[in-house]
Amino acid sequence: MTVESMFIDTSKRYPLNTVAPRRRQGGAVLIVSLLFLAALTLIGISAMRGTALQEKMAGNTVQHNVAFQRAEAALNAGLNDLLTNTPNISNYDGTLPTYDAFNNTSPDPFTSATWTSANKVNGDSSMQWYAELLDPDRVVRPERGCTASQQGCTIRVFRITARGKSGNAQVVLRGIVGRE
């Protein structure tokens, strides 16, 4: 091999207005780049779907938390009402918002008909509660020889059922309170 053959022959120059001869190209680079672009597109679409799902889950979590807080507020309103006002047992006649669960079956808190006449907290239908009389004469101190006819020996047991709503979320909470 000679030194001259190692260098590019610069004697063959092409005029400026002509194009250099093309080598035969199979288009492999084009096919590989299109496959790569398709893969990146699929990854991007799946990432967008995952983000949209996470956004929906976060929104549902927020709605559930707000509904839970509203149910807690309604439960506290019902408990405060029972503890501050003397309940009239004759009002517990089997119709809501007060209900005699001792002598009747309890209403289903998961049906909308139950909540049509329930108490609203500050007029807000997203926070409602109703009270059920569970036991009108529960003896609380039988170890001291108390009977149902003795003063201070019995309590009335009530169950407060509260519902909180926010968007599509609904939370039902229950609490039990006893008072003389």
Mean pLDDT of 69-84: 90
Q: Which two tokens stand for residue 18?
A: 């002509």
C-alpha to C-alpha distance for 49 and 20, rounded to whole angstroms = 49
Tell me the DSSP string of 36-55: HHHHHHHHHHHHHHHHHHHH
Largest CA distance in the chain: 128
**Number of C-beta neighbours around residue 54 at 10 A:** 10
**C-alpha dist (Å) from residue 36 to 31, 33, 43, 100:** 9, 5, 11, 70
Residue 21 clears pLDDT 90, i.e. is over it: no
pLDDT reported for residue 51: 87
How, if at all, do strands 154-166 and 119-121 pair?
A: unpaired
pLDDT of 55 higher than 70: yes
Q: Supply the pLDDT for residue 152.
A: 66
Per-residue pLDDT tens over the stretch 158-176: 889 999 999 899 999 999 8
Q: 10 Å Cβ neighbour count for 160?
A: 23
Pick the more confident residue, 16 or 80: 80
Average pLDDT over residues 38-62: 90
- pLDDT value at residue 142: 67
136 or 139, which is more confident: 136
What would the mean pLDDT of 126-138 be, rounded to a whole number?
82
pTM for this one? 0.65
More confident site: 169 or 145? 169
Contact 132, 158 (CB under 8 A): yes
pLDDT in tens, 100-119: 666 677 788 888 877 877 78
Give the per-residue pLDDT at 144.
Answer: 65
What pLDDT, on the 0 to 100 scale, is given for residue 179?
76
Q: For residues 171 and 67, what is the distance between their CA atoms, to the nearest angstrom?
A: 6
Window from 3-12, 28-37, 68-77, 155-164 with minimum mean pLDDT: 3-12
